[in-house]
Each structure stands twice: as C-alpha cells, then as structure tokens.
Amino acid sequence: MNHRKQPPTESAIFKTNAERHEPAVRDHGLGVEFWRDRPVLVTGASGFLGTWLVKRLLDMGGRVVGTARKPGSALPGVDEHERLRREYGDLADAGWLSKILTKHRVKSVFHAAAQPLADVAFDDPVGTFESNVAGSWRLLDACRAQGTVEQVVFASSDRVYGNAGIGLGENTPVTTGHPYDASKACAELISKAYAHSYGTPIAIARSGVLFGGGDRNWRRLVPGTILSVLRDESPVVRSDGQALLDYLYVEDAVDAYLRIAVSLAANPHLRGEAFNICNETPLTILQMVRKIIHTMGSALEPTLLSEPQGVPQQRSSSANKARELLGWNATYSLDAGLSRTIQWYRSAFTDERDGAAHGLEELRCQ
C-alpha cells in the first residue's frame, strides 16, 4: 500500500515560501497557531538542517533564537529576519545555555547542533563525542534545571542501526561500530534517561541522508555530486557505491520535526520516543549519483575509487510509527526533492558567477 501523498506539481516547486508553506502547514496540521509568537530555540542554527528549521519557524510566526559558534546561514535572507535573535557561543558552556533559556523564555527546543561528518568523526572521535554527546547532555540538563521548556526534539540519525538491513523499525537494536554512529546513539540514550528519570519532554528524530539546497559540505554525496556536474566534472565516489541508504528531502524532515514537537505538546506519553523519518525509497550510492546526473541532463559517468570501506552499509527504515502516531508522511518524492535541490544549486552557482553575495562562495576555494 502506498502511503505517500502525491508530490507537488512542478509549478508548486518554484512558488515562494509564503505561497507554499502557509497552506501546507494548515493542511498538514503542523500548528500555525501553536508556533505563532512562540519562543523557540534552534541549536546549530547556522547549519544545513538548523537553517531550514529557523526559516520554517519564522515563516509560521515563531520568535526564534538560533545558537551557533559563529555568524552564518545556509540560506540567504534568514539572518536578516526581525524575529530572529542570534546567540553565539559553545554548547560546552552550560551557563551560557541556561542564560539563553532564561533570557528568551524558551518553550520549544530543536537540538540540531552537532559535528555532522562521519569522516571527521573517524579522525577526531574525542572532538565528535564532546560536540555530539557532551553538548547534548549539557543542553538537556539546562532544560531540566530551567523547568519551563515544554518540548525538545533531538536530531539523531538512522546510523544508530548500523547495517541492520531493510524496513527497520524503531525497536531495532541500536548497533554502532563507528565513532559518529556511537555519538548519536549515546546522545539518544542520554535523552531517554532525561525523559524517563526527570520527565524532560524530549523525542528523537532518526533520519537517513538529508539533502536539499544550502548544504555546503561538499564531501557529502548530494551537494558534492551536484557541484561536480555543474563544473562538468565526473563525480567521484570513494567507495564501490554499493551501500544502500535512505535519502530524505530537508523540507520533509522539517515537517517531521515540527510535527514531533506539536505531538509532544498534545501527548506527554511520547516523551523518550524515537521516530524514523524517511522516504522509504532506499538507493545505493551509485544509483543516487546516477539519478542526480540524469536529473541534471548530463552524460557524465561517476568515477569509482573503490577504496576499502569495511562492510557495505545496508540500512533502510520504516516510517510506519511516524505515520501512525504523528500523521507524518514524506510529501516530496525523491525525484521532486532532487529537482528542488538541483534548482537551488543551479541558481546559486549562477549567482556566484555573477558576483552575487549569496552565491556559492566556497566555489572560489575548491
């Protein structure tokens, strides 16, 4: 049975944010009134997922506080919004976190701050654990001590399942063998401990590979492949390309995060629960690269380095729990999400070549 909603038409894909999101929020029950004037904290607000969360919350009338280590935003125009307040610092500073929660009277928290790259985690496991594990417990303890935070949504990953197979449910045992995976699994266990021991209103979102406009981590598969094709260069795949993974368009992920928070407000029994948020359309890395190349109308062929990667990943989740308890489905098909993503990068690539301030500045450094 196909649970997915029909993807938006091509004309809808290129509508402005106000045209597309305001009706979508009403139709999907994401709580426009719930978010209006609501004080919300987004950690990692200058990152890829964090920026998209900030943008959507501002669109719905929220009063958003975004934390980051330094100024910046993955999307143009977000930083200038009158309802956005920026706080710069490090999650290692527990006192700083407590002051932010008090100063802004935060009611909802989206914890997206993390060291997000698996290869960096392999080279620097201690730094990754400090960011992803210790940063999470400091935030949770600040929320516990504050006592006024009503929802916390933690950004985890389906990598906590290891290579467990296809159609994985949330009860699949957490099995990790990589420092990045372990950092997310540890933070999940700590989140559940705070939920069960202190009643901290937290729930966990486990996503596959997120993609969309604004991701400037060129080592990631989707933006790196798009950038190569824009330059008319063969995309390079370091592995043999056979790892089977889930991919999810970032706006669908944002929808899921908001729905988790609204559902937590309505149902306290969801505290400590984890939810798979996925498109349920797994592809191998090589299939995904070729799909991007084809969608971009290119005749390039990927270059496979076939570097040793250990056991090929075989990991795909089921979104049944999110459908049943949250009423969430991925709105965008994989093709529709890729079309939007490619259009964003093409526009940014053109802007950069024309000297626009919000273009792909990093292109000059590649």
pLDDT tens per residue, range 26-51: 334 567 889 999 999 999 999 999 99
Flag whether 116 is in a domain: yes
Q: Specify the pLDDT at position 352.
A: 60
For residues 144-152, give the mean pLDDT. 95
Handedness of CA 340, 256, 16, 49 (dihedral sign): negative
Flag whether 225 is in a domain: no
Measured distance CA(20)–CA(28) in Å, rounded:
12
E strands, 116-259, in order? 151-157, 165-168, 202-207, 209-211, 236-237, 244-245, 247-249
User: One-letter amino acid identity for 230?
Assistant: L
Active site residue 247: no
Predicted confidence (pLDDT) at residue 9 exceeds the cutoff of 50: no
Select which of 161, 180, 332, 345 is catalytic.
Answer: 180
Residue 80 banded pLDDT, cuts 50, 70, 90? confident
Strand partners for 277? 207
- Per the structure, the count of domains in the chain is 1
Q: How large a percentage of the chain has pLDDT more than 90?
A: 72
Residue 127 banded pLDDT, cuts 50, 70, 90? very high
User: One-letter amino acid identity for 233?
Assistant: E
Do 299 and 150 contact (CB within 8 A), yes or no?
Answer: no
Flag whether 170 is in a domain: yes
Measured distance CA(275)–CA(294) in Å, rounded:
32
Tell me which residue range forms the domain holding 146.
Answer: 10-214+246-282+314-333
Measured distance CA(351)–CA(232) in Å, rounded:
18
Flag whether 132 is in a domain: yes
Flag whether 197 is in a domain: yes
Could you give the C-alpha distances from 328 to 215, 262, 263, 299, 355, in angstroms and in order? 24, 12, 11, 37, 40
Flag whether 346 is in a domain: no
**In this structure, what CATH number is given to the domain that contains residue 27?**
3.40.50.720
Flag whether 43 is in a domain: yes
Flag whether 309 is in a domain: no
The secondary structure of 308-341, three-state, reads: CCCCCCEEEECCHHHHHHHCCCCCCCHHHHHHHH
The model's pLDDT over 218-264, given as tens digits with 9 standing for 90+, comes to 989 999 999 999 999 999 998 899 999 999 999 999 999 999 999 99
DSSP 8-state secondary structure symbol assigned to residue 134: I
Could you give the C-alpha distances from 79 to 55, 83, 85, 169, 281, in angstroms and in order? 9, 10, 9, 37, 34
